[in-house]
Structure 1
Amino acid sequence: MSNPKGKTYIVEHLDPELGQWSELEYVAIAKETQVAQGTFLLSSLPEAFNVPPALSQVPAFKPERRGVEELYANDKSRVCLLDPSASSDLGPDDGDKFDAFLFGGILGDDPPRDRTSELRKKGFEGRRLGPKQMTTDTAVRVTRMVVEDKIPLDEISYLDFPELKFNDHESTQMPFRYVKGQDGKPMMPEGMIQLIEKDADKSIDDLF
């Protein structure tokens, strides 16, 4: 399953449908993984799952019906589970130890639900991404920066709980940690700010 050019990033998709929020995140992950010459897998997809065109047209993306424990049945030790409850943080050396990095469903729940617990029970070695809750695309982005670009977790520039201002009267505070972009703003998927503004009357949970 390993790709000699780049790493494999796997989201175990635990929901029967794909909300707008998750679709934007997954497209962002797929495009960034494409640039890095890696592979982005959505695993454990139900039979009725429809892959949106924006995602299926990115060559790095691979839909997968099988679960990660089946995919890596013979080399489980090469898979790293990004787990908030792990005892040690992800480090640059983990890029040499692991080929694949596994993210348990929707990370961006607020407050966080422990959706990695089922994967933890399957025996994958875990690493933390620090104390703050991240969106799924941020978690994959940070993981890539650490294991491929060899930047330690504590040397990445973050923006915690940024406020998004839509106009003089409307704004919303995001309950997540983001990577700080070169423009000084949080790195977010294309179209995400527009989605949040359009649904400003909904809670964050309703957008996934």
Structure 2
Amino acid sequence: MPERKTYVVEHLDAELGPWSELEYAAIAEETQRTRGTFMLSSLPHGFKVPYRLTGYPSFIAEGRSVEEIYKDEEEKERVCLLDPQADKDLSPDDKRDFDVFLFGGILGDDPPRDRTSELRKKGFQGRRLGPVQMTTDTAVRVTRMVIEEQFTLNKIPYIDYPELKFNDHESTEMPFRYVKGKDGKPIMPQGMIDLIKKDADKSINDLF
């Protein structure tokens, strides 16, 4: 059983927006620290890797879909799909059973779209991360905490729907669950608050 895990985001959109770029950079950085692998799969032909991601040896840009990459039945059994509709929650014991953790670019839509259904139909085993919608980087962070740090989901410190205050007159409530940092604030990608503040007049979905 490989100790170093692989985290795969099946990128289902034709483009990569600024929000997703910041999230993916955060995932790449954290995965690099744990000596794991972060892969974006199903990238369209001609996809140009953003500069933010080019400095991480842990990052892999892949044009094939996860179904093509893990087509052997034994390999497929070692892939865990993080699925809000799965029958079981992710647990520390899943470290023994899975080497690859698959995310469908699914976490971060508001309201959530069931984009995981395309991956669910491919036969990957599913696990839930709880009832509250997470951003993609938060979902990967929580998965890593459960699998590599052996937290149970109910022991992870969360902040749900945090309010971000920009000044005395401007604020916005984020419609997601985040991991609470040591400073008591939600852990967010570097540059994310500035992006949200800059584009406060846009909807959340416009930033992905």
Same fold (TM over 0.5): yes
| CA–CA separation in structure 1 for the residues paired with 2:31 and 2:159 | 22
**Cα displacement string for residues 38-88 of structure 1 (whole angstroms, at most 9, x for unaligned residues):** 000000111121110111211110000111011111110000000000011
Assess if the C-alpha contact under 8 Å between 2:7 and 2:101 holds in 1. Answer: yes
Corresponding residue for 2:143? 143
CA distance in 1, matches of 2:24, 2:3: 21
The residue aligned with 2:130 is 130
Kindly state the Cα deviation for residue 5 of structure 1 after the two structures are TM-superposed.
4.4
Find the counterpart in structure 1 of residue 64 from structure 2.
66
Taking only the aligned residue pairs, the percentage that are identical comes to: 72
| In 2: Cα distance, 1:6 partner to 1:31 partner | 15
- Deviations along 1:4-50, one digit per CA (max 9) or x if unpaired, are 34100000000111000000000000000000100000001111211
Corresponding position of 2:107: 107
CA distance in 1, matches of 2:3, 2:122: 27
- Rounded to whole Å, the distance in 1 between the matches of 2:105 and 2:185 is 26
After TM superposition, the structure 1 = structure 2 runs for residues 9-88 of structure 1, keeping only pairs within 5 Å, are 9-74=7-72, 75-88=75-88
Given that residues 164 and 172 in structure 1 are in contact (C-alpha distance below 8 angstroms), is that contact kept between their aligned partners in structure 2? yes
The aligned counterpart of 1:175 is: 175
Conserved? CA contact 2:159–2:186, under 8 Å: yes
Deviates more, 1:48-57 or 1:111-120: 48-57
**TM-score, scaled to structure 2:** 0.97
Match in the other structure for 1:200:
200
* 2:9/2:104 contact within 8 Å kept: yes
Distance (whole Å) between structure 1 residues aligned to residue 78 and residue 45 of structure 2 = 27
For 1:68 and 1:58, locate their aligned partners in 2 and report how far apart those are by CA, in whole Å.
21
Cα distance in 1 for partners of 2:42, 2:104 equals 11
Is the Cα contact below 8 Å between 2:106 and 2:114 reproduced in 1? no
| Superimposed CA distance per residue, residues 148-201 of structure 1 (whole angstroms, 9 cap, x where no aligned partner) | 100000000000000000011100000000000000000000000000000001
For structure 2, the residue ranges without an aligned partner over 5 or more in a row are: none
Residue correspondences, number: 206
SS of the aligned residue for 2:71 comes to coil
> d(CA) in 2 for partners of 1:97 and 1:180?
28
Conserved? CA contact 2:106–2:116, under 8 Å: no
Retained in 2: the 8 A contact 1:13–1:106?
no
Please give the alpha-carbon distance, in whole angstroms, between the structure 2 residues aligned to 1:43 and 1:56.
Answer: 16
Paired residue secondary structure (1:73): coil
RMSD between aligned residues = 0.9
Residue 106 of structure 1 deviates from its aligned partner by: 3.9
CA distance in 1, matches of 2:37, 2:96: 17
What are the residue-to-residue correspondences of 1:183-198 with 2, within 5 Å?
183-198=183-198
Determine which of 5, 27, 42 is the counterpart of 1:7.
5
Letter of the structure 1 residue corresponding to residue 104 of structure 2? G
Point out 4+ residue stretches in structure 1 off by more than 6 angstroms. none
